[in-house]
C-alpha cells in the first residue's frame, strides 16, 4: 500500500536465528501495529506502538520484541526463530481515532522458519 512498506517481502531462516522485520511509513501516523496471519486464526496482534519509544504487547507477543526509535519505522524482532513463527506478518498504521480511516496495511512479509 502506498505510504507503508514492509521488508523483506519473503524470508527463509533457520530455527534459532534472530530475525528482524521492518515496517516503514511515510504517512506520519502515530500508531503502528504488527499482526501475524495464520489460517483459521485471522490476524492476531503481536505488538503495537502509540509513539516513539512507546510500545506494548498484544495477544501473541511471546518470542517477539519491537522497537520504535523514529515515527516512521517499527521493527519486529524474533529473538530466536521457531517453526511456530512461520507465518505472514503484517504491519499496519492508523491515526489515534481509527474511525476516520481505519487501519492501512502493508503488503506483508512471508516468513518461513526451517
Partner 1 sequence: AQSVTQPDIHITVSEGASLELRCNYSYGATPYLFWYVQSPGQGLQLLLKYFSGDTLVQGIKGFEAEFKRSQSSFNLRKPSVHWSDAAEYFCAASGGTSYGKLTFGQGTILTVHP
Site residues (CB under 8 A) for partner 1?
Answer: 1, 31, 33, 35, 40-45, 48, 50, 58, 90, 92, 94, 96, 98-99, 101-103, 105-108
**With respect to partner 1, which residue has the nearer C-beta, 17 or 107?**
107
Q: Is 95 exposed, middle or buried (0-12, 13-18, 19+ CB in 10 A)?
A: middle
Smallest gap from residue 103 Cβ to partner 1 (A): 6
The span from the CA of 46 to the CA of 76, in Å, is 9
Smallest gap from residue 7 Cβ to partner 1 (A): 14
The span from the CA of 50 to the CA of 7, in Å, is 21
Amino acid at each position: 500500500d502506498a505510504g507503508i512498506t514492509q521488508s523483506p517481502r519473503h524470508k527463509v531462516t533457520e530455527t534459532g536465528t534472530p530475525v528482524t522485520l521492518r515496517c516503514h511509513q511515510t504517512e506520519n501516523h502515530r500508531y503502528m501495529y504488527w499482526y501475524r496471519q495464520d489460517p483459521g486464526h485471522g490476524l492476531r496482534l503481536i505488538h503495537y506502538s502509540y509513539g516513539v519509544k512507546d510500545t506494548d504487547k498484544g495477544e501473541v507477543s511471546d518470542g517477539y520484541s519491537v522497537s520504535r526509535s523514529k515515527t516512521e519505522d517499527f521493527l519486529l524482532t524474533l529473538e530466536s526463530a521457531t517453526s511456530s513463527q512461520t507465518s505472514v506478518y503484517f504491519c499496519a498504521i492508523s491515526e489515534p481515532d481509527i474511525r476516520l480511516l481505519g487501519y492501512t496495511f502493508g503488503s506483508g512479509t512471508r516468513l518461513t522458519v526451517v
